[in-house]
């Protein structure tokens, strides 16, 4: 045992994984041997989910069967829809609502067990992961529509995972370009090493708690502004810059002088530009050009150039996902829920891996409090 202190477990190796590899100095992200650039360009989200869960890309027939199985699990039962409606009526935060929904999903799953032997059943867990991955988008779309006074839209099994979500959100089948851009965003967010939410899922699973508990832990962790919640802050910042009427670089300079944090920059792992930010930046530019409105993209580029030149900080995935989603008409406060909608693939893949070679995750803290105090009875204090 070492007495070295690593705050935030920075740089501490706690597990071995075959799922994703990050080279922070070179700006590389790899899922099971495939670069994120190749997967974003050539693979659908469904293919990436299959890759993470099964260790290899599916054949055409395997993909068809897998996609159909996931599409068949999209619908929510009446009890769950009533819960979603009550959360929408209460104007609950979308991530808090999602946390509740994920927890309740276990009540409707006959395979959601806590028996120490059954909880690690790989095939059963893949079926549970399929249900979670399929139903989370339906819950997010239904919640968003209900709070706006609209009826939920029943999912369709003939649409892709990405296209179906946009259809349920807007009650309108998306065009091919929007569906492709959104699918690519889901691919980019599907996994990212042992990040905070994935680690929290692994910690929960290491106790031999069930998959639903692990994903509930992950959702709660992702909600924080230093993790998944950062993408909302980026778009709110861009809107503030626009409404100020100031030049973006002058706004950033003033914000930094005031001690404010510029959202979407810096990363615990990457020392260079996040490779996912490069791809999403290109998508943001394409959407802007198609809409004939470069405002959000140009503002983002100006801020990126200033932060890189003056502070040596490069953007992370949140920086360009914000303007990409905004240009697609997606409400700002569900950005993090969409992150969860994608990352559930990685969370469940890591939980499957944890169960395969499990050891209870139990770090220690260095005690720095008082010692050798003398106890005084309450009537003498």
pLDDT tens per residue across span 257-298: 999 989 889 787 888 899 999 999 999 999 999 989 999 999
Asked about 161 being catalytic, the answer comes back as no
Query: Domain 230-327: which topology?
Result: Cytochrome p450-Terp; domain 2 (1.10.230)
Is 227 marked active-site? Answer: yes
3-state secondary structure of 177: helix
**CA atoms of 222 and 195, how far apart (whole Å):** 9
User: In the prediction, which pLDDT does 381 show?
Assistant: 94
Number of Cβ within a 10 Å radius of residue 377: 6
The structural architecture, per CATH, of the domain 31-225+332-356 is Orthogonal Bundle (1.10)
pLDDT tens digits, 109-138: 888 777 777 899 999 999 999 999 999 999
Q: Which listed residue (227, 350, 357, 379) is catalytic?
A: 227
Q: Confirm if 153 and 145 have CB atoms less than 8 A apart.
A: yes
Q: 161, 189, 192, 267: which one is catalytic? A: 267
Please state the φ and ψ torsions of residue 33, each to the nearest 5 degrees. 95, -10
Residue 324 tokens, joined: 């990409």
pLDDT band at 2 (very low <50, low <70, confident <90, very high): low
Task: Locate CATH 1.10.580.10 in the chain.
Answer: 31-225+332-356
Separation of first and last alpha carbons in the chain = 40
The number of residues making up the chain comes to 381
Mean pLDDT taken over the chain? 93
Local structure of residue 361 (DSSP, 8 states): -
Parts of the chain belonging to CATH 1.10.230.10: 230-327
Q: Which of 318, 333, 357, 379 is catalytic?
A: 318
Per-residue pLDDT at 8 exceeds 60:
yes
- Collapsing DSSP to helix, strand or coil, 22 comes out as strand
CA dihedral 193, 178, 73, 127 (to 10 degrees): -20
Residue 327: in which H helix or E strand, if any? helix 317-327
pLDDT tens digits, one per residue of 184-215: 999 999 999 999 999 999 999 999 999 999 99
Mean pLDDT is lowest, of 84-93, 167-176, 237-246, 267-276, for 267-276
Give the number of other Cβ atoms within 10 Å of residue 168's Cβ.
24
242 catalytic residue (yes or no): no
Beta carbons of 336 and 197 less than 8 angstroms apart: no
Of the candidates 343, 292, 333, 349, the one whose C-alpha atom is nearest the C-alpha of residue 185 is: 343
């Amino acid at each position: 045992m070492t007495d070295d202190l690593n705050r935030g477990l920075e740089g501490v190796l706690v597990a071995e994984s075959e799922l994703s590899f990050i080279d922070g100095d070179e700006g590389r992200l790899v899922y099971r041997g495939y670069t994120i650039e190749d997967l974003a360009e050539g693979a659908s989200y469904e293919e990436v989910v299959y890759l993470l869960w099964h260790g290899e890309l599916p054949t055409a027939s395997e993909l068809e069967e897998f996609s159909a199985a996931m599409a068949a699990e999209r619908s929510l039962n009446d009890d769950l829809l009533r819960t979603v409606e009550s959360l929408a009526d209460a104007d609950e935060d979308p991530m808090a609502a999602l946390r509740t929904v994920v927890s309740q999903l276990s009540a409707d799953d006959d395979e959601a067990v806590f028996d120490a032997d059954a909880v690690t059943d790989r095939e059963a867990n893949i079926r549970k992961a399929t249900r979670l991955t399929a139903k989370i988008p339906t819950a997010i779309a239904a919640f968003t529509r209900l709070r706006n006074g609209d009826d939920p839209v029943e999912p369709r099994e003939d649409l892709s995972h990405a296209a179906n979500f946009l259809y349920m959100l807007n009650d309108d089948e998306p065009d091919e370009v929007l569906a492709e851009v959104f699918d690519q965003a889901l691919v980019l967010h599907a996994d990212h090493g042992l990040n905070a939410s994935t680690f929290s899922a692994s910690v929960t699973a290491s106790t031999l708690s069930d998959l639903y508990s692990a994903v509930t832990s992950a959702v709660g962790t992702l909600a924080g502004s230093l993790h998944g919640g950062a993408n909302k802050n980026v778009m709110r910042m861009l809107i503030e810059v626009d409404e100020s009427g100031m030049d973006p670089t002058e706004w950033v300079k003033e914000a930094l002088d005031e001690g404010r944090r510029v959202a979407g920059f810096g990363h615990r792992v990457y020392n260079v530009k996040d490779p996912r930010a490069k791809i999403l930046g290109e998508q943001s530019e394409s959407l802007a050009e198609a809409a004939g409105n470069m405002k959000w993209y140009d503002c983002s580029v100006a801020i990126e150039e200033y932060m890189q030149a003056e502070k040596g900080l490069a953007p992370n995935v949140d920086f360009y996902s914000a303007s990409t989603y905004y240009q697609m008409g997606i409400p700002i406060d569900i950005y993090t829920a969409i992150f969860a909608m994608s990352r559930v693939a990685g969370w469940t893949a890591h939980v499957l891996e944890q169960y395969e070679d499990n050891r209870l995750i139990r770090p220690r803290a260095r005690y720095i409090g008082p010692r050798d105090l003398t106890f005084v009875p309450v009537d003498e204090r």
